[in-house]
A = this chain, B = another copy of it.
Amino acid sequence: MLSATPRTTLGRSKERGSTDRADLYDVLDSGLICHLGVVVDGCPMVVPTGYGRLGDTLYLHGSTGARSLRAADGGEVCVTVTHLDGVVLARSIFHHSVNYRSAIVYGRARLVTDPDEQMAGLRALSERLAPGQWDYVRRPNRKELAATAVLALSLEEASVKTRRGGPSEEEEDYALPVWAGVLPLVTAWGAPEPDPMLPEGIDPPVHILHRE
């Protein structure tokens, strides 16, 4: 179950909320990037960045010099992951909507200092963005680890919101001679584009070629 704190309790459209922890994992485990919110000098700052999940901990990373990471270290953050599944076309402008799945995680981020946890966090990040690569390419060396800040965020305070299905309409609008429904948005992997520096004879492995 997900916790119910004031900020994770939906104020509106409660029917779109989920309190099931499995739904949270589903949204997080099918995303590639999140939007990380921090407060800098009293103002919000939202940056797109990678993430990974291990159990009930979310890992973020970045250069030790990045402004957003410095603000996130020890401070309150908000991490949002959104999947846009389609545009809901209604018979009135007012009832237009989108189908989506989103997760919002609140908490205080902690800089990971334990080397084993740093490596595990980076592995989780890497496997989220590019599954199979951790065991295929060169892993981080000491110098690279020193340049990479890894932050941990507990999934204790989180909310999940989902919208599916066709439009909700005003009763009288059903008589309008207007098409209504959903225009789905489909995301897929294209064909791998080899690096021009690649020597001949090295083909993309199965985990890249047939990525789901």
Tell me the minimal C-beta distance from A113 to chain B in angstroms. 19
**Does A18 make an interface contact (CB < 8 A)?**
no
A1 at the interface (CB under 8 A from B): no
A193 to B80, CA, bound (A): 28
Chain B residue contacts of A92, Cβ below 8 A? 137-140, 144
CB within 8 Å of B: which A154-196 residues: 166-167, 169, 173-174, 176-196
State whether B185 touches A186 (Cβ < 8 A): no
For residue A129, give the distance in angstroms from its CB to the closest CB of chain B. 6
Cβ contact within 8 Å between B39 and A42: yes
Whether A188 contacts B189 by the Cβ 8 Å rule is no
- Shortest C-beta distance, A70 to chain B (Å), equals 10
- Asked whether, in the complex, the Cβ of B191 is within 8 Å of the Cβ of A208, the reply is no
B190 and A178 within 8 A (CB): no
Which of A122, A137, A140, A182 gathers the greatest number of chain B CB atoms within 10 Å? A137
- Nearest Cβ on chain B to A103's Cβ, whole angstroms: 10
Number of interface residues of A (CB under 8 A): 92
- The answer to whether A87 and B183 have CB atoms under 8 Å apart is no
Q: Does chain B have a CB within 8 A of A126?
A: yes
State how many angstroms separate the Cβ of A91 from the closest Cβ of chain B: 6
Given A76-B43, A179-B208, the answer on whether A185 and B184 have CB atoms closer than 8 Å is no
Q: Is A110 an interface residue (CB 8 A)?
A: no
Q: In the bound complex, do residue B12 and residue A65 qualify as a contact, i.e. CB atoms below 8 Å apart?
A: yes
Distance to closest chain B CB from A83 (angstroms): 9
Residues in B whose Cβ lies below 8 Å from that of A138:
91-94, 173, 176, 178
Chain A positions within 8 Å of B, measured between CB atoms, are 7, 11-12, 32-33, 35-40, 42-48, 50, 63, 65-67, 76-80, 82, 84, 86-87, 89-94, 96, 98, 100, 102, 104, 106, 122, 126, 129-130, 133-134, 136-141, 144, 148, 166-167, 169, 173-174, 176-198, 202-205, 208, 211
Q: Can you name 5 extra interface pairs (CB under 8 A) apart from A48-B102, A90-B137?
A: A43-B76, A91-B138, A182-B195, A186-B188, A186-B189
